[in-house]
Structure 1
Amino acid sequence: MCPPAHFRVAYCINPWMDPRKPVDPAIALFQWEDLRDRYRALGHTVEILDPEPGLPDMVFAANGATVVDGRVLGAKFANPERAAEAPAHLAWFRARAVGFADIREPEHVNEAEGDFAVTSSWLLAGQGFRSSPLAHDEAQEFFGRPVISLELTDPRYYHLDTALAVLDDAADEIMYYPGAFSPGSRQVLARLFPDALLATAEDAAVFGLNAVSDGLHVLLPREAAGLAAALRERGYEPLGVDMTEFHKAGGSVKCCTMELRPPAA
């Protein structure tokens, strides 16, 4: 995670961003610290990346790299406003000799966990607004995992992590909003994940799918009440979080969280 020391809406690179609607820095910090503390209370380790001046979106740590089995594929941002975030993330990994031995700078545009979602069987990969489909081939070759390309068609859901979340990676269980995807991608998701939890348009619109699950606890925006109820019915424990300041920039729980997946035992 990266503290929101410099977080603000300084430009517009997605439909949610409006510089005329300023962020309250104090509230943003309180919300971010609450999310961090919830992870720790659940027994998770939280590593901190120091924020850098001039990079207001660096708080969205999910976009900095993708880590699978301890291997790190860096990001290459589509928008120049965020380009300098990529080397900052890779420098953090390179400074840690233990656990991250294979670190790669990408050739093609990918916005990391914004558009990559990991299950035990698949690497789900979004395209259409940010990440290049060429990055999907690159990720498959690097991680040695089959990549499933999914086309995003609604600009409000410009990253895969705004339209789909992994609930249980070991069981290949996900939740997603069908309306964010092309017809063909909806068919692929229905075939691969016939028991997936389908979110409503109302829950998707409040970033309900920009969530993080540890296989039991699901941290998601508190406004997604319908999704929370559906998760309870499936045996999960939803934990509503207030991330409204980050919604102003088009992000929420998952956007603020990069998952560090260690090598398999």
Structure 2
Amino acid sequence: MEESHRGILVFGARSLIRVRRARILVAPSPKGAGDDADRRGRFRPDGRPPRAAAKLPDVPPTYFDVVYSINEWMRPEDPVDTALAMSQWEHLVETYRRLGHEVLTIDPVPGLPDMVFVTDSGLVIDGVALGARYRTEQRAAEADHVLRWFLANGLLRPTRPRYINEGEGDLLVVGDIVCAGTGFRTDERAHAEVARHLGRRVVTLRLIDPRYYHLNTALGVLDDHTVAYLPQAFAPESLAVLLDLFPDAIIAEEADTRWLGLNLVSDGRNVVLPSQAQRLADRLAERGYTPVPVDFSEFLKSGGGIKCCTLELRGYRELRAGR
């Protein structure tokens, strides 16, 4: 179902979500009345276990370059050091493997310099895949290549969306909900499509600062109950939603987001983030997380970061084990 109040759209696939006075009220799902209460305000101290090892398909930056400008960060006149980009990407892959994750490789394609930012090309939950439809023509072909990879690797119901939808660039899974960005890239109508195809509740968040053109540049998911975000990147009604849903969130500063510090990847304990985002790393450590700094600065030339280069196949391991 779908309801709209004061510019906030929330879509519920399994249970009712209502918006009143910029607050979200979530009716309990059949799994139990405690699920949503646990999400609101629950803080897990030191000793938190990491999530199960993830399967992370990445695309090597073989053809990475800045040859056009489709966001506030891109300057084609600033040349990319391809060797440095490859070295930083390889270090990221090594870091994931050291943390126990399995990294899968999608072959890069000549002429698609932004394909390295694979997270924008889909969303996978419970082994079910929804592809992408890009807003800019420069990236449009990436979606087809990744969708074919989903199909070839046995993911369920790989589907190209009807509306513009830039994958995990704007769709971030937090526990049993999907926080969905809009304002610059993903069409708001795509959020209902996500709820229907993937069977999850979706909460719309509107971005207002073009420097943070995707949700994953302004909000990072730390675990199933906790996020970090930059308040000034969001419209007032969306900020009210974040305050209500995540009262224990970590509030980031622009000193960190100028390095795309929130474009991070967390397993619930270990948080892989740019090494330059030191203030955010300190806040994470204070809250019991283990910061794992990685220098990913060459990718800033395209407005990309660690999360941009990382797509997670949720439920893929269980899907393969059941065959």
Query: Which bin holds the TM-score, normalised by the shorter protein?
Result: over 0.9
Determine helix, strand or coil for the equivalent of 1:126: strand
- From 216, 222, 233, the equivalent of 1:167 is 222
| TM-score, with length taken from structure 1 | 0.97
After superposition, residues 32-51 of structure 1 pair within 5 angstroms as 32-51=89-108
State how far apart, in whole Å, the 1-side matches of 2:162 and 2:156 are. 19
Kindly indicate whether residue 120 of structure 2 is the aligned counterpart of residue 63 of structure 1.
yes
Residue from 43, 63, 66 that aligns with 1:6:
63
What one-letter code is carried by the residue in structure 1 that aligns with 2:111?
G
**Greater C-alpha radius of gyration:** 2
Query: What does the per-residue CA deviation read over 1:191-226, in whole Å, with 9 as the maximum and x for residues that have no partner?
Result: 000001110121111100000001111000111100
Amino acid at match of 2:231: P
Specify the code of the residue in structure 2 equivalent to 1:22.
P
Q: Is the 8 A contact 1:136 1:149 kept in 2?
A: yes
Higher mean Cα deviation, 69-78 or 100-109? 100-109
Pick aligned residue for 2:111 from 33, 51, 54: 54
Deviation at 1:105, TM superposition (A): 1.1
Q: Deviations over 1:105-143 (max 9, x none)?
A: 110001000000001231000000000001001001111
Match status 1:146 vs 2:209: no
How far does residue 264 in structure 1 lie from its aligned partner after superposition?
A: 9.2
Aligned sequence identity (%): 51
Mapped contact 1:69–1:264 kept (Cα < 8 A): no
- Post-superposition CA distance 1:17-48 (Å, at most 9, x none): 00010100000000000000100011100010
Residue 237 (str. 1) matches residue 299 (str. 2): no
Q: Which of residues 154, 158, 161 is equivalent to 1:103? A: 158
Offset of residue 96 of structure 1? 1.4
Task: Give the corresponding residue for 1:220.
Answer: 273
> Quick one: distance in 2 between partners of 1:243 and 1:179?
24
> AA paired with 2:132?
A
C-alpha separation between the residues in 2 aligned to 1:84 and 1:59? 13
For 2:103, what is the secondary structure of its paired residue?
coil
Paired residues of 1:71 and 1:102 also in contact (CA < 8 A): yes
Work out the CA distance in 2 between the residues paired with 1:264 and 1:52.
26
Q: Tell me the equivalent position of 2:311.
A: 258
Once the two structures are superposed, the pairs formed by residues 74-153 of structure 1 within 5 Å of their partners are 74-97=131-154, 100-153=155-208
Distance in 1, Cα, partners of 2:215 & 2:294: 20
Cα offset, 1:90, TM superposition: 0.7
Which residue pairs with 1:186 in the alignment? 239
Q: Is the 8 A contact 1:28 1:245 kept in 2?
A: yes
1:29 aligns to what SS in structure 2? helix
Structure 1 stretch displaced more, 47-56 or 117-126: 117-126
Contact 1:118 1:124 in 2 (8 A): yes
> Counterpart in 1 of 2:5?
none
- The answer to whether the 8 A contact 1:119-1:168 is kept is yes
> 1:263 Cα shift?
5.9
Distance 1:46 1:146 in 2: 28
8 Å CA contact 2:124–2:312 kept in 1: the answer is yes
Q: Which amino acid aligns with 1:135?
A: A
Would you say the 8 A contact 1:179–1:201 is kept in 2? no
| Letter paired with 1:67 | V
TM-score of the two chains, using structure 2 as the length reference: 0.80
Distance 1:64 1:93 in 2: 10
Aligned length: 261
**Hey, which bits of structure 1, 4+ residues long, moved more than 4 A?**
none
SS of match in other structure, 1:103: strand
The aligned counterpart of 2:263 is 210
